[in-house]
Amino acid sequence: MSSWLSMLPETLRISVPYACAAVAGVWAERSGVIHIGLEAVLLTSSFSSVAAAVASGSLLVGMLAGVLAGVVVSVGHALLVERARVDAVVSGVALNLLAYAATRLALRGLYDSASNSPSIAGFDLGPKGGDVGAMLARVLLDPVTLGAALVIAASPWLLARTRLGLRLRACGESPEAARSLGIDVVRTRVLALAISGAIGALGGVHLAFDQHRFESGMSAGRGFIALAAVVLSGWRAGRAALACLVFGALEALQIALQDVSGTSKATTLVQLLPYVATLVVLALGIGRAAAPRGLGQRVDDG
Amino acid sequence: MDGLLLELVKVSRSFGATRALHELDLRLSPGRITAIVGENGAGKSTALRLCAGELAPDAGEVRVGGRALHPARPEEAIRRGVGLVHQHFMLVDGFTALENLVLGAEPMRGLRIDFAAARREACALAERTGLEVDFERRAGELTVGERQRLEILKVLYRRARAVLLDEPSAVLAPSEVGELYAALRRLADDGATVAVVTHRLDEVVRFCDEALVMRRGELAARTPLGAERPPELVAELTRAIMGREPPAPLGRPAAPDPGPEPVLELGGVELRDAAGRRLLDGISLALSAGEIVGVAGVDGNGQRELVRVCAGLERATAGTVRVGGRDPFAGVHPGPAAVRAARRAGLVVVHEDRQREELVLAASLGDNALLGDLGAGHDAERVARRLARFAVEPATPRLPAQALSGGNQQKLVLGRARDRQVRALVVSQPTRGVDVGTARRIQTALAEAAAAGAAVLCVSADLSELAALCHRIVVVRRGRIVCELPPDASEDAFGRAMLGVEAA
Ligand SMILES: Nc1ncnc2c1ncn2[C@@H]1O[C@H](COP(=O)(O)OP(=O)(O)O)[C@@H](O)[C@H]1O
Ligand SMILES: [Mg+2]
């Protein structure tokens, strides 16, 4: 019974990395940069946050290092695509592979392990205890979750109402028009990717802090699920985050079902639930809204 | 308003091997409307883009108000008071007109864009200049005229003192052209520098103060237009533009005897959009072999839909299209299959928006020339023939289509259409953005198609073109044919029919 009720805090906890990555994807693609390197952002930020936390003994330093890593990877992608004119899909795939290999290599080098880092302490704010209320309080008081919730909630407004948001969307819809109005398309896109990287990195940091360590390949495809959420939402931040919440709920349900059914073949099938649901929704074409018109378009300089 | 002198001093600019401008000297003075005319590819757009900081000169200097434009970037030109309205609209279709207006110069209130202030200023600006736009609509949903006005408002909103317009009238109805120039005249009277690129010489003579003729990237002539404007002026300008004698006036083929059966017949064609609005409302027309029928009307009154139905891109919600008595779309889904069916039936269509509907801009000229006939064999010959038909310049098959100037893109599209088996030809704006010499060749080609037995339906915003070419002209309004006029009816009669005003 308690496993059913605990689904609420579980859903929130599970959704954070997905939602961060999805909103990161929205920021990038609304500015016109195709971004399939969300996995790389998640992985490098979770690794960096743990490594910095281990080295400094401070979770806050870890968090900052994670965000910085996400920004670096993301801005690197933007520069490769917009300045060096590398194909965005190629760059994204390369970053994903590179991030996977580099974090493994660093694990080996720093901690002499093929699979995981040493453990770190968590923030562990909020009441102790196993009842649902305490669990919910702990999830909600987590600084990473709070930070993520804040930027995710602010994103739709920032994109819709601010100068940066308007210009960024103009670069995504019609880079030619933006340029003719004196907007520096490349700079705007690099800035968008920096913001995107920071938001996505919060997801990576959450992933690592939640497990109290870094595990090789721990993003486990979340960046791609997030990408599906971006498409589903029609490139809208709020809806993308909501889609991730639903996905998180399905995953929580799957965990709860596992508790009930124990270990059997059915478990494996149940684990597929969130992915199958995502596929079905994508296939049904719900919210098959148009992508930003200028997605992947570059502008020539005079 | 203070005047802002724009000068190009011995400016050269090339694109790869193409020399667009060669030591061009150009002066645009405040307080007057200067027309810039010349053949397609003469370098008119390039000259304006240099003034607007979108291109940097290879050699020479661009001067704004006496000082060099440096750095050569749009933001610097905007800051210095230069505004360019592009040949192809530079609007963000998904944004509202208001968002488009303020983009890049947003009034702020804290972190937020102050849309309330923007709206107030926009309305004031619209009132002052007489350029009305529905600011809450998305730019993609505006009519062509509104988009045009929005582009000018964008420039004025940035406090431009020099307003440059690249073929602004090509897409407008006659009444809208008059309004456009009235607004430009008010700006010039206010002291602004106004320059207009156009192919319509009658406009130049009627509305402008000076004509600069460009030929092959150089200034070929400068013609001040004083109070005296003799009728020979148009011929004189034509000669200067072409560098030789103007082409003979178009000879309309004699009206054919109505045959027993029309070649192209539209029977009560109706088209509704998703919301159930009638875009086409019972269009009936019958064209015999050899007949040229014109369609006049203010842009956005169903012309585009009519052409799309003929092309098989939309299915008429009621009524039929028949070619030689047969409905090519019977039992075919709209879309690619219907487009092929139309082509098989000899119904050849040329859409008005060549960039969106006719060409794959990123693909080569060769591939574009074969579009729709891939796999039919004899590719190289076919490409050469279609590029040569109206002398596409440069005729290099591997160049991407976007490297062509607008007029040359149009030549390619028409060369491809004329090269097909034609029983009925439906063309929209065949000479939009095309220079005088080429326009005449295209019109002649249409007349020849008719003389060879095709039925030709020609949609055009250019009344003089319809008058010279067509045997009869129908006027459409709100998706309906409101009347049929002989080609020699007065412009006034057309204007009244198009706008739906009763004769006084
Ligand atoms: N971006 C470009 N890339 C390559 N060639 C170009 C480009 N812009 C213009 N040109 C070439 O420069 C010449 C002048 O073009 P343009 O200024 O557009 O002529 P106009 O506006 O007088 O028709 C043409 O030969 C055209 O093909
Ligand atoms: Mg041009």
Contact A17, A203 (CB under 8 A): yes
Q: Which residues of A25-49 are buried (b: 16+ CB within 10 A; e: fewer)?
A: bbbbbbbbbbbbbbbbbbbbbbbbb
Q: In chain B, whose CA is at the least distance from the CA of A181? A: B104
Residue A301: the pLDDT is 59
Mean pLDDT score, B279-294: 93
Amino acid B397 reads P
Q: Which residue of A has its CA nearest to B71?
A: A302
Q: What pLDDT does B503 receive? A: 45
- Our count of domains for chain A comes to 1
pLDDT digits (tens, 9 = 90+) for B436-480: 888 888 899 899 889 888 999 999 988 888 999 999 999 999 899
Mapping DSSP to helix (H, G, I), strand (E, B) and coil, where does residue A259 land? helix
The yes-or-no verdict on residue B504 having pLDDT over 50 is no
3-state helix, strand, coil split of chain B in percent (to 5) is 35, 25, 40
CA distance A259 to A265: 14
Domain with residues B264-499, CATH architecture = 3-Layer(aba) Sandwich (3.40)
Burial of B450 (0-12, 13-18, 19+ CB in 10 A): buried
Chain B residues whose CB is inside 8 A of the A180 CB are 52, 54, 74, 84, 86, 90
Domain boundaries, chain B: 6-242, 264-499
Tell me whether B123 touches chain A (CB under 8 Å). no
Q: Kindly provide the ipTM of the predicted complex, given to two decimals.
A: 0.89
**Nearest 5°: phi and psi at B232?**
-70, -10
The reply to whether B75 touches chain A by the CB within 8 Å rule is: yes
pLDDT in tens, A251-300: 888 888 877 766 667 777 777 877 888 778 777 766 556 788 889 888 86
Cβ neighbours of B366 (radius 10 Å): 19
Please give the model's pTM, rounded to 2 decimal places.
0.81
Sign of CA dihedral B105, B123, B98, B356: negative
Amino acid present at A115: S
pLDDT at site B1: 62
pLDDT at res. A263: 63
Q: What is the pLDDT of residues B38-62, one digit of tens each?
A: 988 899 999 999 999 999 999 999 9
Q: Are B195 and B50 in contact (CB under 8 A)?
A: no
- Which structural domain range is residue A66 located in? 16-117+128-219
Q: Where are the beta strands (DSSP E) in B3-147?
A: 6-15, 18-28, 33-38, 59-64, 67-68, 82-85, 108-109, 112-113
Please report whether residue A234 resides in a domain. no
Query: Which ligand minimizes its atom distance to the CA of B14?
Result: 1
Helix (H, G, I), strand (E, B) or coil at A3: helix
Instruction: Read off the pLDDT of each residue in B117-124 and give the average, rounded to a whole number.
Output: 95
Question: Could you say which DSSP state residue B338 is in?
Answer: H
Pinpoint the alpha helices (H) of B167-249.
174-189, 201-207, 232-242
Q: What is the pLDDT of residue A284?
A: 75
Was domain B6-242 assigned CATH 3.30.70.20?
no
Report how far residue A168's alpha carbon sits from residue B238's, in angstroms, rounded to the nearest whole number: 45
Tell me whether residues A181 and B90 touch, CB distance under 8 A. yes
Tokens of residue B243, six digits: 């560098």
* Rounded Cα gap, residues A271 and B96, in angstroms: 45
Which residue on chain B is closest to A183 by alpha carbon? B104
- Segment holding A196, helix H or strand E: helix A185-211
For residue A299, which ligand has an atom nearest its CA? 1
Q: What length is written for chain B?
A: 504
Q: Please give the pLDDT value at position B355.
A: 81
Mean pLDDT value of segment A137-148:
92
Name the residues around ion ligand 2, CB cutoff 5 A: B 45
User: Cβ A293–B55 below 8 Å, yes or no?
Assistant: no
Q: Work out the average pLDDT over A64-91.
A: 96
Helices A143-161 and A7-30 pack at an angle, to 10 degrees, of: 40
Q: Which of B56, B100, B104 sits opposite A183 (nearest CB)?
A: B104
Per CB-CB distance under 8 Å, the chain B contacts of A170 are: 92, 95, 103
Beta strands in B39-78 (DSSP E): 59-64, 67-68
Distance between CA A228 and CA B144 in Å, rounded? 37
Residue B325: which of B270, B256, B267, B282 has the closest Cα? Answer: B267
Other Cβ atoms within 10 Å of B356 Cβ, number: 9
Residue A170 in any domain: the answer is yes
Token readout for B183 is 């607004």
How many A-B residue pairs are in contact by the CB < 8 A criterion? 76
Structural contact between residues A202 and A64, judged by C-beta atoms closer than 8 angstroms: no
Q: Give percent above pLDDT 90 in chain A.
A: 70
Same CATH topology for B6-242 and B264-499: the answer is yes
